[in-house]
Structure 1
Amino acid sequence: MKNPSFEFSRAITRRPASTIANGLRAEDIGNPDLDSMLAAHAAYVAALRSTGAEVIELEPLDAFPDAQFVEDTALCLPQGAILMRPGAPSRLGEVAEMAPTLRGCYENVREIKSPGHIEGGDILVTGSEILVGRSDRTDAAGVAELAAIAAEWGHSLREVFTPEGVLHFKTDCSLMDAETILSTKRLDASGCFEGYRVLHVAEGEEAAANAIRFNNLVLMAAGFPRTAEVLSKAGYEIVEIDNTDCAKLDGGMSCLSLRF
C-alpha cells in the first residue's frame, strides 16, 4: 500500500517560459536566466523519473510567467484533484490551463469558487491530516471551501498561520515522511507541528526548508550543506537541485510539480 503523502506514481511539471523575468517576486534579487533554469528543470524532472514515476511535462506558457510553479494551481489527493484559486490575480488563468491535464488524470475534479483564494504552496498533506497555512495568497474563505471538499473525501484539515513576511506555508516547511517534517525554527515555534517529529533546517539556511519527499528521494535546493547533512544523518537519500533562478521568483522544490 502506497503512502499517499510521499509515494507517487505520477507528477506534472511545466517547462519555464521565455517570459520568466516577468514573474512575481517579493523582492528583486536579479532576473532569472532562462538557460540555467531550463537545465535545473531538466535535472528536477530526471530526479523524479529516476524513482520510476511517470512525469507529464507541459509546454511553457508565455502568457503566464509563473506557470512553471504548477503546485499552486491544484491539490492532488487519492480521491481526486481540487483546482485552486490563486491569490495573485496574474496567476488566476493558470488554473484553466492546468484543468484539462488533471481531468485527463482524474475522474473526480473539483474547484475552489469565488470569493475564496487558496494556493497549493500553502498546503501540506501529511500522513494524518491536511495542514493549510493562511497567508497573503490564501484566505479564510478559500480554506473553508477546501475543508468542506476534504471532509467529503474523508480528510481532516487543520488551519495554521504562515509567519509574517513568508510567502507560502511550504516556503518554511516540507514533508520528509508521513510523520516527519523539515521546518524553519520560526515556523515550528508557532506550535503547528505538535505531535510530529520535526527536523530543523540549519541556522541561516531557511531557504532549504522547501524540499520534497518523492518516493525514495528528498529533492532539495543545492547550496545548503548543513541542512543536507541533517537530512543525510536522519537517513534520507537526497538529490540537490540548483534553485538559484527559481529562488529569484520566490520558487522552490515543491512549487515545480504536482505529485500524485
Structure 2
Amino acid sequence: MTDHSFRFTHAITRRPAQSIIRGLRAVDTGNPDLALMQSHHADYIAALKATGATVIELGALEDYPDSVFVEDTALCLPQGAVIMRPGAPSRLGEAAEMAPHLEKLYAEIRRIEGAESFIEGGDILVTEREILVGRSARTNGEGVAELTRLVSDWGHTVRELHTPPGVLHFKTDCSLMDGETVLSTDRLAASGCFADYRVIAVAEGEEASANAIRFNDKVLFPAGFPRTRDRLVAAGYDVVEIGNSECAKIDGGMSCLSLRFTPR
C-alpha cells in the first residue's frame, strides 16, 4: 500500500471523561479545563473529517482518566491491528476497551500479552520503510521484542531506539510529515535516529509542537507555535492549527488523540 503511514480512511477518537482532571502528568501545571478541552477535541474531529476520513467517536470512559489518548492502546497497520500493553498500570484496561471496536474493522487482531512486556502507541512512529519504537518509561525492551515478532510476517521491520531522558513518549519529540520527512526536536534528532530521513527541526523553545499528525493532505498541528508552523508551511505542507493547551497539561498531543488507519 502506497503512503500507508500517512494516508488513511478511518480514525477512532474518544470523548474526554470528566475524570480527566486525574490524568497522569510528568509535571503538574494545573488541571485541564474540561469544557475547553471538549471544544478543542471537537475542532480536532472536524479537522479529521475535513480530510475525507470516517471518524468513529467513542464515548467517555470515566473509569480511565487518560482514555482520551486512544493512540496508546493499539498499533493499526494495513494488515491488521496490534493491541498494546500500556506501561502505566492505571491504563491497562484502556487497551481491552479498544479491542472490540478494532475487531469490527479488522480481519486480524494480535495482542501484546507477555507479563513483562509493556508498550504504548505513543512510542511508535510508522514510516513507509520501517517501524521506529522508542524505549521509554512506558515501553520496555520486552514490549519492543514482542511487537517485532508480531508484525514480522506482515512484512514490517522494527527498529528499536531510545526516547530522550525526561521525555514521556518517542512521538512527544517527533512526527512523520511524509514518506521521507520527519518533524523533530533537536534533542531527538541529535541521536542520529533520523539519519536516513529529511528532518524539519522544531524551532527552539517550541519543542512541544513536535507532536503533530500528517493525515492525508493535512498536517494537524498544535496552536501557539508560529515559528515551527511557518517552517512547515514553507516546506509545502497544508497546516491546520488546533488548540491543545488542555491536553498538554496531561502530556497529550495531536497524535495521542486518535488511532489512524485503513482497515482491510
TM-score by length of 2: 0.98
After the TM superposition, which segments of 4 or more aligned residues of structure 1 sit over 3 Å from their partners? none
CA root-mean-square deviation: 0.6
Residue 88 of structure 1 aligns with which residue?
88
Report the CA distance between 1:77 and its aligned residue: 0.2
Aligned counterparts, 1:131-210, within 5 A:
131-210=132-211
Report the CA distance between 1:2 and its aligned residue: 4.2
Residue 214 of structure 2 aligns with which residue?
213
Rounded to whole Å, the distance in 1 between the matches of 2:110 and 2:257 is 21
Rounded to whole Å, the distance in 1 between the matches of 2:206 and 2:24 is 22
Rounded to whole Å, the distance in 2 between the matches of 1:217 and 1:195 is 23
Rounded to whole Å, the distance in 2 between the matches of 1:92 and 1:44 is 25
Report the CA distance between 1:100 and its aligned residue: 0.5
Report the CA distance between 1:79 and its aligned residue: 0.4
Aligned counterparts, 1:226-245, within 5 A:
226-245=227-246
Aligned to 1:218, what secondary structure does the other structure show? strand
Aligned to 1:105, what secondary structure does the other structure show? coil
2:42 corresponds to which letter in structure 1?
A
Report the CA distance between 1:115 and its aligned residue: 1.7
Rounded to whole Å, the distance in 2 between the matches of 1:160 and 1:193 is 11
Aligned counterparts, 1:36-185, within 5 A:
36-113=36-113, 114-185=115-186
Aligned counterparts, 1:20-35, within 5 A:
20-35=20-35
Per-residue deviation, residues 104-128 of structure 1 (Å, max 9, x unmatched): 1101000001220000000000011
Aligned to 1:13, what secondary structure does the other structure show? strand
Residue 12 of structure 2 aligns with which residue?
12
Rounded to whole Å, the distance in 1 between the matches of 2:225 and 2:256 is 18
Task: Note the residue ranges of structure 2 that are not aligned, 5 or more in a row.
Answer: none
Report the CA distance between 1:153 and its aligned residue: 0.8
Report the CA distance between 1:103 and its aligned residue: 0.3
Rounded to whole Å, the distance in 2 between the matches of 1:110 and 1:206 is 34
Rounded to whole Å, the distance in 1 between the matches of 2:92 and 2:196 is 35
Report the CA distance between 1:175 and its aligned residue: 0.1
Per-residue deviation, residues 25-78 of structure 1 (Å, max 9, x unmatched): 001000001100000000000000001100000000000010000000000000
Task: Note the residue ranges of structure 1 that are not aligned, 5 or more in a row.
Answer: none
Aligned to 1:30, what secondary structure does the other structure show? coil
Report the CA distance between 1:149 and its aligned residue: 1.1
Report the CA distance between 1:159 and its aligned residue: 0.2
Residue 252 of structure 1 aligns with which residue?
253
TM-score by length of 1: 0.99
2:27 corresponds to which letter in structure 1?
E
Report the CA distance between 1:225 and its aligned residue: 0.2
Aligned to 2:214, what secondary structure does the other structure show? strand
1:77 corresponds to which letter in structure 2?
L
Higher mean C-alpha deviation, range 183-192 or range 146-155 = 146-155
